[in-house]
Amino acid sequence: MTIIKRKHTKVIKVGNVCVGGDNPVSVQTMTNTNTEDAESTISQIKEIEKYRCDIVRVTVNTVQAAESLKAIIKNVNIPVIADIHFNHILALKSIEAGVSGLRINPGNIGDKIKVREVVRACKGNEIPIRIGVNSGSIEKGMLDKYNGDFSSAMVESALAHIAILENESFYNIKISLKSTDVLTTVKAYELLSSKVEYPLHVGITEAGTAFAGAIKSGIGIGILLYEGIGDTIRVSLSDNPVTEVIAGFHILRDLGLRKEGVELLSCPTCGRAEIDIVGLAKEAERKTASVRSNIKVAIMGCVVNGPGESMHADVGIAGGKGKSVLFSGGKIIGKYNNSEIMDALINEIENITGEKII
C-alpha cells in the first residue's frame, strides 16, 4: 500500500489540536448558526463533535457575537476559531473570550497599531492566526500583475499578509489559499508550499452541494494531500456542517491518512440483487457515520460477490431471497429475514467496536 509522505511543516497549536509536522491531518468545519445565538451554536457544535470534528470555526461579525463566544467555548469540547474580517476590535474581544485561533488577514486590519495590538494579544495567549486568501477577494492590480493567473496572485497576496505578521515577529501562522476552481487551488498551494514552512489549511471554497461539492473537494483536497500538502482540511459545502465533517474524514480515510471510521463497501446492484441494496447502504452509511473505530463493512446484494466481499470485511451482509446472511470476522454468524438484517448488522457493529451507534 502506498504511504503518503507529507511535506514537513512547522507545528502550531489550535487549543489542544496540533496542526502541522507529523500530526494527523485535522478536520474542521464552520457553524452556520447566528453566533449571537449561543444556544443554537453550542448545540450545533455538540452535534459535529459526535462526528469526530477536530476544530470548529464560527463567524464573529458583531460585538454581540464576540460576547457570546465565552458561553460557546465554555460549553463545547473542541477548539473554537473566530472568523473575522477587518475589525480588530472583534479580534481582541474574541481573544479575550478564549478562542483557540483567529482567522483574520492582517493586511485587511489597516492601521499598523491595530495589527500590533492583535499580534500582542495572540502572542500573550498563544493563539495562532490563519491567513485566508480567497480568489474572490484578490485585488485587481495583483491579478493584472500576473496576467489573470489567480494562483500566483493568491500566493503573492498571502506572502504579503505573512510579511506583516513576520515584521511583528509573529510566526504562529497557518495559511489557506482557496479558489472555487480545483486546478487553480492546487497550483496555488503547490506554489506556496514551495515557499513557506507554515502549516496549510486546505480546501476548495464554495464547492457546492453535498454531492457535487464533495466530489470537487475530494479531487482538489485529494490531489494536494497525495502530494503531501495540507495539515488541516475543510470541505466547504452548501449543507449541514456534519456533512462537511463526514466528507472530510472520507477523504482522509480513503488516502490512508486517518485510519478511523467505517469504510462502507456496497455493490452497485444489478438484476441479481435480492435485497434493497441502495436503501440498506444509505441507512448503514447514515447510522455508522459517527463510529470512531476503523472497520470495513460490506453490503452486497447477492451470492455472486456477496460472500467473498463480506468475508473479507469486518462485518458484512450477503443478500438472499427473503433472508440474508450476516458475516463477522470472516464467518457466517446468522441468517436473518431481510426486514431484520439492518438491525442485526448494526448490533454486530456495536458488538465488535464497543461503540453505541447514535
Comparing CB distances to ligand SF4, the nearer of 270 and 358 is 270
In the complex, the smallest distance separating the C-beta of residue 108 from ligand SF4, rounded to whole angstroms, is: 53
Instruction: Take residue 14 and report the three cell numbers written for it.
Output: 489550535
Cβ closest to ligand SF4, residue 74 vs residue 272 = 272
For 112, phi and psi rounded to 5 degrees? Answer: -55, -35
Q: Closest CB to ligand SF4 among 92 and 300?
A: 300
Give how far Cα 165 sits from Cα of 162, 168, 174, 202, 326, Å.
5, 5, 11, 20, 58
Q: For ligand SF4, which is the closer residue by CB, 207 or 284?
A: 284
CB of 352 to ligand SF4, least distance (A): 23
With vertex at residue 19, the alpha carbon angle to CA 116 and CA 84, rounded to the nearest 5 degrees, is 40
DSSP annotation string for 133-194? EEGGG--HHHHHHTTT-HHHHHHHHHHHHHHHHHHTT---EEEEEE-SSHHHHHHHHHHHHT
Residue with nearest beta carbon to ligand SF4: 301
Q: Which of 140, 205, 145, 209 is nearest to 178 (CA)?
A: 205
Minimal distance in Å, beta carbon 277 to ligand SF4?
6
Could you tell me the smallest distance in angstroms from the CB atom of residue 281 to ligand SF4? 11
The least CB distance from residue 305 to ligand SF4, in Å, is 4
Complex with ligand SF4: residue 24 or 307, whichever CB lies closer? 307
The amino acid occupying position 341 is: I
Dist. CA 196–CA 202, nearest whole Å:
14
Q: If DSSP codes are grouped into helix, strand and coil, which group holds residue 26?
A: strand
Minimum distance of ligand SF4 from residue 268's CB (angstroms): 5
The DSSP-derived string for 277-320 is: HHHHHHHHHHHHTT--S-EEEEEESSTTTHHHHHHHSSEEEE--
CB of 283 to ligand SF4, least distance (A): 17
Report the residue number, 21 or 330, with the smaller CB distance to ligand SF4: 330
Distance between CA 226 and CA 275 in Å, rounded? 37
Pick between residue 283 and residue 350 the one whose CB is nearest to ligand SF4: 283
d(CA 250, CA 238): 18
User: Which residue carries 486546505 as its cell?
Assistant: 202
Q: Give the list of residues 6+ apart from residue 343 with CB closer than 8 angstroms, or none.
A: none
Q: What is the largest CA-CA distance in the chain?
A: 74
Tell me the three cell numbers of residue 305.
460477490
- Minimum distance, C-beta of residue 324 to ligand SF4, in the bound complex (Å): 12
- CB 125 → ligand SF4: shortest distance, Å? 55
Residues that bind ligand SF4 (CB under 6 A): 267-270, 272-273, 300-302, 304-306
Grid cell, residue 134, equals 480567497
> What whole-number distance in Å separates Cα of residue 133 and Cα of residue 339?
51
Nearer to ligand SF4, 30 or 273 (CB): 273
Q: Which residue lies nearer to ligand SF4 by CB, 98 or 308?
A: 308
